[in-house]
Amino acid sequence: MPTDFARRRRLPHSYPENAWLFVTCHLNGSLPKNRYPPPGAPNAGKAFVWMDRYLDTARSGPRYLARDEIESLVANHLDEAQRQAHCDLGAYAILPNHIHLLFRPKIDPSHLLKSLKAPQHARPIRSFI
């Protein structure tokens, strides 16, 4: 894995080598496009807090992760990533519309996160929704 590298999407993503990372992944459609990022959010930290609070209190939008069978598939995939030595898992929380993940990657974090959302893993989930 390369030493300190960064990616940019909605928020800057910096991945220092051998560091624990806290990541939040949300279901597509769980954040309203017309409200993100919040107007006047002066920094990425405040934008994250807004996003997390919105996801925690949302009563509409996709909530597939609340289903036991889907939550189990996601948890098994995270555990498998650790068994295959792709990461050290510190903790994770699977909520109805998003996931919090604390991990130390042993491969490129972007590849690890993409594998969680990869079609071969999403296909079984789609069969439940």
Q: If we measure between CA atoms, which residue out of 98, 102, 103 comes closest to residue 117?
A: 98
Name the token pair of 60. Answer: 């509409």
Q: Could you report the per-residue pLDDT of 74-122, keeping only the tens digit for each? A: 898 889 888 888 889 999 999 999 999 999 998 888 887 777 766 555 5
Q: Determine if the peptide bond prior to 119 is cis (ω within 30°).
A: no
Confidence of residue 34 (pLDDT cuts 50, 70, 90): confident
Could you tell me where the beta strands, DSSP code E, fall in the chain?
5-8, 12-15, 21-26, 87-94, 98-105
> Do 78 and 89 contact (CB within 8 A), yes or no?
yes
> Do 28 and 62 contact (CB within 8 A), yes or no?
yes
pLDDT exceeding 90 applies to what percent of the chain?
22
> Is the confidence at residue 61, as pLDDT, over 50?
yes
Half-sphere exposure of 98 (CA within 13 A, CB side): 20
> Is the confidence at residue 5, as pLDDT, over 70?
no
Record the pTM: 0.75
Ordered by where they begin, the domains of the chain are 19-126 (3.30.70)
- Residue 2: what residue type? P
Q: According to the model, what pLDDT value does residue 129 have?
A: 47
